[in-house]
Amino acid sequence: MLTENHALLIDAGNTLVKWAVVPFPVSGRSCMTLHADHASHETFLHEKIGHFLAHPNLKKICISNVAGPHFADEIINQIGSTVPCNFITSVAREAGIENAYEDPGQLGSDRWLAMIAAYQIVRGAVCVVDFGSAITIDMLSASGRHQGGIIIPGFKMMQTCISKGLGHLPCPSELKKKPSLLGTDTVSAIQSGLLHPVTALIEKLLQKNPSQQDHVSLVITGGQARYSGLVDLPNTLYRPHLVLEGMACLLQRPEL
């Protein structure tokens, strides 16, 4: 039972919903390391959210939603007017970083929050990579200016495309961590083709980043990150709940 006032942070992704509970109001400015849980969209909406709404000490709900309008409508119906609720959207400038998009709101809230958290953690030039249903890569300069980003299919999405498009080939049943560069059979060759182009792209960005910084940290997140092998690179941080950490940073603003 939660005995102190708290806020519920919700990260509704394409595949799963993650959530964390933090004290409210939040003091300090740095991002906090969070313990988070996850469930399917349906399980969260029909089994989990009700438990939190029943707590009298729940004072705030913050949501990053890239799951689509149906999820937003469902959760609004669940919450009603019982607790103040805020859907995070990307803006031009916030928490020390500047959005590169001409239309700032077009940038996904998950990417925006991940960049906010990463910049607060590193306090310098950083490459932020989220290995989710899609793989997103964003670069921030040392001054916090967003240089732009890249979106490519996630590992499982690529695996599904190969399986459906080339059904006669023996597609790997699961990803293998750090496969050899050159495969010695069809399965290992596909494994290499899934993983190595992505890691090579990230390593190239770190070596020749648009901001021309001498030192760029790498912060990675997402459920498929463990297969990339990038956690072994120097100056790399793995933060599994980076989007929620960014939300916790913003929760310190009095207007949120």
Length of the chain: 256
Alpha helical stretches, state H, the chain: 41-43, 49-53, 69-79, 109-122, 155-165, 186-207, 242-250
Annotated catalytic residue: which of 37, 103, 110, 138?
110
- C-alpha span between 217 and 233 (Å, rounded): 10
- Residue 203 to residues 167, 182, 189, 206, 209: CA-CA distances in angstroms? 31, 18, 21, 5, 10
Q: What are 170's two structure tokens?
A: 């023996």
**128 and 138 in contact (C-beta within 8 Å)?**
yes
**171 and 183 in contact (C-beta within 8 Å)?**
no
**228 and 199 in contact (C-beta within 8 Å)?**
yes
- C-alpha span between 19 and 9 (Å, rounded): 5
Question: In the annotation, is 110 catalytic?
Answer: yes
Q: Residue 136: in which H helix or E strand, if any? A: strand 134-140
Q: What are 69's two structure tokens?
A: 């309008």
- Residues annotated as catalytic are 110
